[in-house]
Structure 1
Amino acid sequence: MERFTIFAPMLMRWEFLIFCALVAVTLVQLFYYLFFFRRVAFYKPAPKVNSQQHPVSVVICARDEDENLARHLPGVLVQEYATTNEVIVVNDNSLDDSKYILAELQKTFKKLQIVDLTQEAKMIAGKKFPLSIGIKEAKHEIVLLTDADCVPASEHWMFKMQDAFSNGVEVALGYGAYTKMPGLLNKIIRFETFHTALQYFGYALAGKPYMGVGRNLAYKKNLFFKNKGFSSINHIASGDDDLFINKVANKHNTTVVLDPEAFTLSNPKRSWKEWMRQKNRHYSTGKFYKSSHKFLLGLYTFSFFLFYPLFIATAITFDWRWSLIPLVVRLVTQAIIWNKAMKRLGENDLFSLFLFWDIWMFIYYIIFAPALWKKPRKSWN
């Protein structure tokens, strides 16, 4: 009993420090939600006096995508856009019926331009080479990118995306959503897509753009060639979208397009194995981001990861009533911003699982943390 009495003040000190650590982590989380993510939740586009219609080149790379081209490409070709535009499909060494489907579509849609590649580019991983060829072939300054498995959410996608190019804008970040389907995996994929978008849109709106997604992205052709295209990242399998944007985007030349008519839709992976392989490949490029972006993204992830262990430790060792204060403040702030942002991005059906998503992200970071140290796989997509 005497020994316990001596060490009691020390134990109380460490218990209090655990509580202080919980408060500190909560404050870090609140900083991200109130400084970055609220900009997406409460986004209001600046009113435009008039809209412009610039000539646009849509560039799509495809390898063995005959079914997707037949199903989705017409949605790009029938866009309501009166000004000059073209759709360039780079058929990259496909072994399926892609060339026949493209030839048939070209008979109906004269603006469809087909570039057939029959040789692989040595020492250039992924789809950077075919994408570079497509951008080089583009006749117009504004290049709008999407994938063969994507379809625009509306016939005004092209207009909405190009309308962002004014007042020095050179990069426009769009939202690439996934189709709603039954099952938990579909919801998990859509939530992860939403959560990623909450970050890259929020950072961009705060003047710290760090990535975009190739499913829905536009930039100026001159910006691409001024920065020597993908030359600095040709050795990395992924990164034709996020790493390139990480290199060229800044607070002066980048904007976001959050109009639902400017979204694209694609079918998500159908198996856990395929989805995990895709996410591991994507996260393996994060190590190549700018240092400031890695710090911000890492601090957010670390604070998210620490919150629940510190909450449990505080509830057990200090006082469970005190531990509820940071928990409630964080959850209420998070719920308000997630709810508004989900409505903004058309994912509002996911909000009913709010508490599940919060705990899931803790598990998610454990699953994919090793990807940050893995060498990227040299796969095409």
Structure 2
Amino acid sequence: MSVSWPEIVFLVFCVITAVQLFYYLYFFSRFAFYKKPKRESSMQHAVSVIVCARDEAQNLADNLPEVLQQDYKSTFEVVAVNDNSFDDSKYVLEYLSKPFRNLRPIELKQEARLIQGKKFPLSMGIKESKYELLLLTDADCKPAGKNWIELMQDAFSNGKEIALGYGAYYKKPGLLNKLIRFETFISALQYFSYALAGMPYMGVGRNLAYRKELFFRNKGFSSHNQLPGGDDDLFINKVATKTNTAIVVDAEAFTYSEPKTSWVQWRSQKTRHYSTSKHYKSKHKFWLGLYAAAHFLFYPLLVVAAVFYCWWIALSVFAFRLIIQGIVYSKSMKKLDEKDLVWLYPLLDIWQWFYYLFFANTLFKKPGNNWK
């Protein structure tokens, strides 16, 4: 019995849908239904917060006091690395260091030309830090609450060496802001879910913690010093294991930063980010690539199957997938305080198809050396 091409298209559509449902049910549901494990006791570690800045005087003035005034009963310091700034960053740090004795400014006068991007100033900050537990953020980030340090360091128990946090963006009016926050949500949903599945593959430098001993044991960024990016995701991709990585999703443990306000700026930012993904471990590239390919093929196959095979059967498959996706997305968005995106997720999911087209060439485009 011969099989017509519309039937073949429908079968392929069903296979692609099944692949997506596998990701929602096996990976993403782990985060959607995640509950923070209860601990009978909590140890407070001494913490070194590392902030690197280049020409970020205004951001330092706006955000650094929120880091310095954390409600943390144990010892912590803030190591602020001023990387060859031409603005007033040096004077802002000098001014803040007078009332805040736990602020330690470090001035870099000469750029390390063989180490691109943020890795050299970050390495210097880590080298100069006093304490074993390192908590990283950026100059343009502000902790969501006074207990950010407390909550991030609380993840370091039972042999954990890495804590992945959420680096969110402020809610602003306009379509671009929603698209940026949705993309940030999807990224977080993936790296949190993979970590819970025992396959951690990245973290974001806006909100990330790890042990200093882990950094030096793995020779820092030496394996990818030639790349401008990767101080966060490539390092975690190299050193994270299924047993040494924890996630922190308390609302007060988020950091917030200002989102880009133009498509050009956002595209430039994503070009820097995606330039490192090709250097992930093979297993991570496979699972991430399979998810992206399945999502990209889903909507064209849906249209062809609905037009040339049977519209109500194709739409029934789509509706079932939409319900499963909606349950996972809504619970995950509420966890990450992106509740205003819940009712937009069907449209945002369609947008993600165009997102792949819009940013496809960033995977092959060489980014600039500037780490900002």
Distance 2:113 2:252 in 1: 39
How far is 1:317 from its partner? 1.4
Distance 2:329 2:25 in 1: 12
| Residue identity in the other structure for 2:326 | A
1:226 equivalent among 192, 214, 217: 217
Tell me the residue number matched to 2:14: 23
Q: RMSD across aligned C-alpha pairs, in angstroms?
A: 0.9
Map 1:32-181 to 2 at 5 A: 32-181=23-172
When the two structures are superposed, what TM-score results if normalisation uses the length of structure 1? 0.96
How far is 1:368 from its partner? 1.2
Tell me the residue number matched to 2:300: 309
| Residue identity in the other structure for 2:39 | K
Classify the secondary structure of the residue corresponding to 2:163: strand
CA deviation profile, 1:257-307 (whole Å, cap 9, x unmatched):
011111001101111110111011111111000000000000000000000
Q: Which runs of 5+ in 2 are unaligned?
A: none
Is this contact kept in 2: 1:285–1:376, CA < 8 A? no
How far is 1:41 from its partner? 1.0
| Number of residues of Structure 1 aligned to a counterpart in Structure 2 | 372
Distance 1:84 1:267 in 2: 29
| Residue identity in the other structure for 2:10 | F
Distance 1:243 1:377 in 2: 17
**2:361 aligned with 1:337, yes or no?**
no
How far is 1:375 from its partner? 2.2
| Residue identity in the other structure for 1:359 | I
How far is 1:374 from its partner? 2.1
Map 1:327-366 to 2 at 5 A: 327-366=318-357
Higher-Rg structure is 1
Tell me the residue number matched to 2:175: 184
How far is 1:17 from its partner? 1.1
| Residue identity in the other structure for 2:137 | T
CA deviation profile, 1:226-285 (whole Å, cap 9, x unmatched):
000001111101110000000000101001001111100110111111011101111111
Bigger shift: residues 141-150 or 274-283 = 274-283
Distance 2:317 2:366 in 1: 38
| Residue identity in the other structure for 2:186 | H
Distance 2:29 2:146 in 1: 29
Distance 1:26 1:52 in 2: 45
Classify the secondary structure of the residue corresponding to 1:108: coil
CA deviation profile, 1:321-359 (whole Å, cap 9, x unmatched):
211122011100111111110000000101121221010
**2:257 aligned with 1:274, yes or no?**
no
How far is 1:84 from its partner? 1.1
How far is 1:190 from its partner? 0.7
Distance 2:252 2:31 in 1: 17
- How many percent of aligned residue pairs carry the same amino acid? 59
How far is 1:31 from its partner? 0.5
When the two structures are superposed, what TM-score results if normalisation uses the length of structure 2? 0.99
**2:361 aligned with 1:374, yes or no?**
no
Distance 2:371 2:352 in 1: 28
**2:276 aligned with 1:289, yes or no?**
no
CA deviation profile, 1:39-83 (whole Å, cap 9, x unmatched):
111110111101110000000000000000000000000001111
